[in-house]
Structure 1
Amino acid sequence: MNHTFVIKRATMDDIDSIALLFDKYRLFYKQQSNLEQATFFIENRLRNNESVIFLAKERDNPSIELGFTQLYPSFSSVSMQKLWILNDLYVDEKARKCGVAKQLLKQAAHFARQSEAKSIILETVMDNIPAQRLYESIGYEKDKDVYHYYLDLTNPS
């Protein structure tokens, strides 16, 4: 199915739309559906200016949401510059392979440049080959210089 779409920066008016997509995104990553908590989470990010979300909608029917991306601000101490963490990117199944993800990524890059950021960083699971191909096709590079570690604070040690 072909989609003509527009991408806009999300506002508080878009919380319910984004929450639906966000819940589907979490399901993709094998999390339990929880629309109430998804709505609460998205509302808090926007209300507290803790993230920037771009939303793709059908051009001719703006009530149909196609996808979103969410960016979180961060900083590089070494370069003393701002950077953005592209934490979430999701396109509804009915809109995949129509250019929505690519345009969301381009909008995120445009926004990051306007904010004078040094870079955008993201991560994806190793078996998400379609996403990796997309990222690399628009200039993202796999980090070969550093390892990323995490400390799970939900498990007592």
Structure 2
Amino acid sequence: MTEQTVSKIEIKRINLSEANLVVSLFNQYRIFYGKFSDLGMAKAFIDARLENNESVIFVAMEADKPVGFTQLYPTYSSARLSKNWILNDLFVDSDYRKHGIGEELIKTAMSFAKGQGSTFVQLETATDNLTAQRLYETIGFKKQEPDNEFFLYRINVI
């Protein structure tokens, strides 16, 4: 593929009426992790998360084109008495990688979590996804002990 020249990227939180912006990217994300392609199921899943306020989704837009997204799920800490966030999904279209979009999506998620009074953001990635691991560690995430096929990363946002 040819190197894309990326113009200004806008990152915004989406609501249910904007769910279609991330359905194709979410489907590509699932394919990246070895799952089957199904746009209908991808749409239903995203719609349900947003309709039930079960996740927060940020999309990276270049002009009117969605080029990446991240999806956060809440988790709660009784000991910390706080609502925290799991950065569960992060995906950037292959034509738009290596332009800092993934990093900006993560930083937006961290800023959001901090604004919510959260203690931490955590994520997991496959043990063989070295590119993602380097990005997370560059941002400041600390690798936890591996659990079979995934590494757990966490960063404090307070």
The two structures have a TM-score, normalised by structure 1, of 0.88
Query: What is the match of residue 154 of structure 1?
Result: none
Q: Which runs of 5+ in 2 are unaligned?
A: 149-158
Question: Which of the numbers 2, 10, 17 marks the counterpart of 2:5?
Answer: 2
Deviations 1:87-132 (A, max 9, x none): 0000000100011000000000000000000000100000000000
Query: What is the rounded CA distance, in whole Å, between the counterparts of 2:147 and 2:14 in structure 1?
Result: 30
Query: What is the match of residue 152 of structure 2?
Result: none
The correspondence of residues 24-103 of structure 1 with structure 2, limited to 5 A, is: 24-58=28-62, 61-62=63-64, 64-103=65-104
Question: How many aligned positions are there?
Answer: 144
The correspondence of residues 68-147 of structure 1 with structure 2, limited to 5 A, is: 68-144=69-145
Structure 1 residue 76: deviation in Å? 1.4
Aligned-residue RMSD, C-alpha: 1.3
Range 12-21 or range 81-90, more displaced: 12-21
Query: What is the rounded CA distance, in whole Å, between the counterparts of 1:110 and 1:86 in structure 2?
Result: 12
Query: What is the rounded CA distance, in whole Å, between the counterparts of 1:116 and 1:103 in structure 2?
Result: 20
Range 10-19 or range 106-115, more displaced: 10-19
Structure 1 residue 80: deviation in Å? 2.3
Where 1:123 maps in the other structure, the secondary structure is strand
Answer 1 or 2: which has greater strand percent.
Answer: 2
Task: Look at both structures and tell me which one has the larger radius of gyration over its CA atoms.
Answer: 1
Query: What is the match of residue 154 of structure 2?
Result: none
Q: Which runs of 5+ in 1 are unaligned?
A: 150-157
Where 2:34 maps in the other structure, the secondary structure is coil
2:60 maps to a residue whose letter is A
